[in-house]
Structure 1
Amino acid sequence: MDVKVFSDPRKPAYLNFDAGSKPLKDPISPATLARVRAYRHGRIKQKLVEHDCAAILVYDPLNIRYATDCSDMQIWTMHNPSRYALIFADGPTICFEYAQALHLAEGLPMVDEVRPCTSWFYFASGPRLTESAGKWADEIADLMRQHGGGNKRLAVDKIEPLGVDLLRARGFTLVEGQELTETARMIKSPDELELMGWTIKVCEAGMWRMRENSLPGKSENEVWAELHYENIRNGGEWIETRLLAIGERTYPWFKECSGHVGKEGDMLSFDTDLIGPYGYCADLSRAWTVGLVKPKPMQKELYAFALEQIMHNWSIIKPGMSFREFNDKSLRMPEEYHENRYGVALHGVGLCDEYPSVPTHVDMDKGKGYDGVFEPGMCLCVESCTGSKRAGETVKLEIQVVVTETGTERLDNFPFEDWV
């Protein structure tokens, strides 16, 4: 069967997926990485001062990565809270690492000290949990006395209930750390945008590989694996979801990819949620037909609205615009698409999906969402999830942009289908 994509003139000339093809060349210089580390570390310290906190204790591995650039078993430690870092507003940054992996943080320019972590979640501590947690709390309290300057306000991003009780019992006031870290991560530096651009380039190479493998007889898992392959061989890290579906499995949205086999002409939709090189996220969505054949009228109708929605909503974003004003000016969805709507019209993106999260007009008009303002340096993903019972399929589209001093700039380059 003749698959048109093999001669698609829009495919970048440097991409070659033959058996002997090589990974892409990493364009990031050591100087760029050094500036990113210093900028991010400085943003955390700035927020500590703004919130009058002596320090922040971070367990979320993405916050550890943001503040220190230390990466160690991030997926494992998302559900086994053993690694943590303590960053002082006017004092040292201390990484507490898995005992056999201290060397991963040693020598990093933003890390002043590396200590073995004290793990007190039940898998590690069992019935000695209270004993282990007490040792952990004593160590944190001792460091706060040494470096906190008498300030007993400690920000924390994520912590088990016992830890909250123990730190408060030692006289500390705990401050919600997620506001601090999310607002720190919200504004990207030009060097961060360079790292994000590299991840997007890797992601889009994977998307072209997926496109070339969107053939009748291929399963959802087989097509999805192409994205993983391209990400990993180029130094990427993981993919947060499994959102690829074909045909009738695209409606309703959010079915995870499976062994379901596509037929020619089925709609194929996906959402990358890809964490690539240096830990940055490329969160892009596209849709096309299996076999890349001409769409059916209903598929074309879905695609046309999805594309109109993200292009309109992208076009109205301006620095200084409030989320409420964006909602008022955003494209209204026909009621037919309400049931399968996406949870957000747009959201922030950095090391993962980040603040802000702005619902579609359907939910904003029902009182959901919150106030806020678009600021230069915010990176946003503008989304559409368009499907209905009548159609029996869903088109998922998403782009990634940065807010500038005068408007926005699109960061991704993967083309849309020429169906509209």
Structure 2
Amino acid sequence: MKPLISLNLWKWVDDNRHAFEPPVGNKVIWEDSQFTAMIVRGPNARRDFHVDPSDEIFYMLRGSMVLEYIQDGRRRDQVIREGELLLVPALTPHSPHRPAAPSNTSTPARSCGHAEPAVMSSRSDHPSPGNRRRVDRGTAMARKNTAPAPTPVTPDGPDPRHRWDRPLQAPGHMQVDFEERVDFRRLHAYRLARVRQALAGSGLGALLVFDQYNIRYISGTVIGEWARDKLTRWSLLTGTGEPWVWDFGSAARHHKLYAPWIPERQSLAGMVGMRGAVSPKAGLFKQAAQEIKRILQAEGVATMPLGIDLVEPPFLFALQEAGVEVRDGQQTMLEARMIKSQDELTLLNMAAAMVDGVYQDIYEALKPGVRENEVVALATKRLYEMGSDCVEAINSISGERCSPHPHNFTDRIIRPGDQAFFDIIMSFTGYRTCYYRTFSVGRATRPQVDAYTKAREWMDAAIALIKPGVTTDKIARAFPRAQDIGFDGEMAAFGLNFCHGIGLGLHERPIISRLNSFDDP
């Protein structure tokens, strides 16, 4: 047991004044207590109500406030003046209001002790701690700590709405009023519900993601492809709250205008290191880690592990120094992303339809004298004209370069009789293709026909096994052994002898191969 030590409240406020700046504006006094007291600085302009599973005590330190509450179905107001105390019984719907302080007021004026986040959202009927944090200025409240209540997931949230009685759609790209195509708000709700489900069963309190695919999956936000590997934007989702997004400068302001599904105060500008270009000595990593820690505290999950997918080492170290326990969050995200909804399948099919058309263009252009890179240019131009948001890579490989597969293109001139192999990796509205085709320039030889026939036999046998309930090790056994395709072992053969899930990311679960599926089906 630690020694019992009293503290001077106003000195504590002065010492921790930095914690009362946006976006959260609060700080827990005793972080490891069963009974939490929190100082929160307003103002608060919200008019939504929340309920708490335990009693709350408000104490007004400076100024006055109005607590609006519902009793017997009617709205009522109670003024709390400076120095006054108010008990709010458990499960009472209430909404504290206080206007902004005069410009010469600098004291954080509300102390509120509450353990778990609130259970309502201004955007839906689901709970949102973001609303709970938007409390008035000049009050103190306290209540006994209970386990944080996770944000509810409604039954229809994670429902993929598959329609196996109908062919998979590949509609036009325009939205129309006479038929249903992709419903993007439904897509957002499904993806967020999937993450909430995975997070609830993971033992993690929150997910902090830097992987662009995970940020898009959680928040429905994206910026230019240049940002994909910069680690300069991130998103946080606690088990009890709504998504937070830190983005590159003006992008945060853009999201406030055009992404209303993100709470406005939770779309923030952020920048820490840009892959090491900014030294940790600048203190940006430490500031960001402290900001995240305050949000975890406010949303009631600070004592639970934080899952992270990809991260710059200084960010990881700063979080650990702030007392945050960090674990692998990528497994939780990939588990969430594995099952695709009807909207996701439609977007994948629309992307594949674009590549269908581009392969017709390649077929018509493929002739002696054309270079591999010219085919890449032709395909890239056509894909962007058709609406692709990212042409990630196009493998264009011909003649003797086809074996062993080099996974890149050159300026080689295509010759009569060449075999030419292509793989188009691009995305439409974020959803990717990994679409291969092989051509013969001129008439195919008998060895080429035999090799193609054998490859199709292996592929078709594996595809026929892919059904609900079949484990991946059984599918992998239909693949050829490494030695059957000219390699010494499965590691060397892996790049040409596996299949994979696809979605916002190129490689999603399941990954099926003779290298990994026998040990981890």
1:272 to 420, 424, 431: 424
- CA shift, 1:334, in A, is 6.4
Once residues 361 and 446 of structure 2 are traced to their aligned partners in structure 1, the CA distance between those partners, rounded to angstroms, is 27
1:72: which partner in 2? 223
Once residues 337 and 286 of structure 1 are traced to their aligned partners in structure 2, the CA distance between those partners, rounded to angstroms, is 21
2:411: which partner in 1? 259
Unaligned 5+ segments in structure 1 are: 1-23, 373-420
Amino acid paired to 1:42: A
1:26 to 168, 173, 183: 173
1:385: which partner in 2? none
Are the counterparts in 2 of residues 228 and 238 from structure 1 also a CA contact under 8 Å?
no
2:295: which partner in 1? 143
Deviations 1:370-399 (A, max 9, x none): 423xxxxxxxxxxxxxxxxxxxxxxxxxxx
Deviations 1:46-82 (A, max 9, x none): 11111132211110111111111211123x2233211
Q: Which has the higher helix share?
A: 1
1:191: which partner in 2? 343
1:359: which partner in 2? 513
1:407: which partner in 2? none
Once residues 393 and 385 of structure 2 are traced to their aligned partners in structure 1, the CA distance between those partners, rounded to angstroms, is 19
SS of alignment partner, residue 240 of structure 1: strand
1:304 to 453, 462, 466: 453
2:192: which partner in 1? 41
1:211: which partner in 2? 363
Deviations 1:315-345 (A, max 9, x none): 1122111222223344557635436844342
Where does 1:116-131 land on structure 2 (aligned, <5 Å)?
Answer: 116-121=269-274, 124-126=277-279, 128-129=281-282, 131=283
TM-score (structure 2 length as normaliser): 0.61
1:95 to 239, 245, 250: 245
Larger radius of gyration: 2
Q: Which has the higher contact order (CA 8 A, sep 6+)?
A: 1
Where does 1:356-395 land on structure 2 (aligned, <5 Å)?
Answer: 356-360=510-514, 363=515, 370-372=519-521
Are the counterparts in 1 of residues 348 and 503 from structure 2 also a CA contact under 8 Å?
yes
- CA shift, 1:207, in A, is 1.5
Once residues 321 and 359 of structure 1 are traced to their aligned partners in structure 2, the CA distance between those partners, rounded to angstroms, is 14
Where does 1:395-406 land on structure 2 (aligned, <5 Å)?
Answer: none
SS of alignment partner, residue 477 of structure 2: helix
Amino acid paired to 1:56: L
Are the counterparts in 2 of residues 83 and 96 from structure 1 also a CA contact under 8 Å?
yes
Are the counterparts in 1 of residues 461 and 478 from structure 2 also a CA contact under 8 Å?
no
Once residues 272 and 377 of structure 2 are traced to their aligned partners in structure 1, the CA distance between those partners, rounded to angstroms, is 34
Deviations 1:136-187 (A, max 9, x none): 1111111111113444321111112222222122222212111011111100
Are the counterparts in 2 of residues 244 and 269 from structure 1 also a CA contact under 8 Å?
yes
Amino acid paired to 1:88: T
Once residues 182 and 487 of structure 2 are traced to their aligned partners in structure 1, the CA distance between those partners, rounded to angstroms, is 47
Range with bigger deviation, 135-144 or 340-349: 340-349
SS of alignment partner, residue 408 of structure 2: coil
Once residues 351 and 357 of structure 2 are traced to their aligned partners in structure 1, the CA distance between those partners, rounded to angstroms, is 10
TM-score (structure 1 length as normaliser): 0.75
- CA shift, 1:282, in A, is 1.3
Q: How many residues were matched structurally? A: 339
- CA shift, 1:122, in A, is 5.5
Deviations 1:66-112 (A, max 9, x none): 111211123x2233211111112211211101112223422424422
Range with bigger deviation, 55-64 or 337-346: 337-346
After superposition, the CA RMSD in angstroms is 2.3
- CA shift, 1:254, in A, is 2.3
Range with bigger deviation, 111-120 or 90-99: 111-120
1:313: which partner in 2? 462
Once residues 300 and 376 of structure 2 are traced to their aligned partners in structure 1, the CA distance between those partners, rounded to angstroms, is 48
Are the counterparts in 2 of residues 168 and 174 from structure 1 also a CA contact under 8 Å?
yes
Once residues 188 and 243 of structure 2 are traced to their aligned partners in structure 1, the CA distance between those partners, rounded to angstroms, is 13
Q: What is the percentage of aligned positions where both structures have the same residue? A: 25
1:390: which partner in 2? none
Unaligned 5+ segments in structure 2 are: 1-170
Are the counterparts in 2 of residues 119 and 132 from structure 1 also a CA contact under 8 Å?
yes
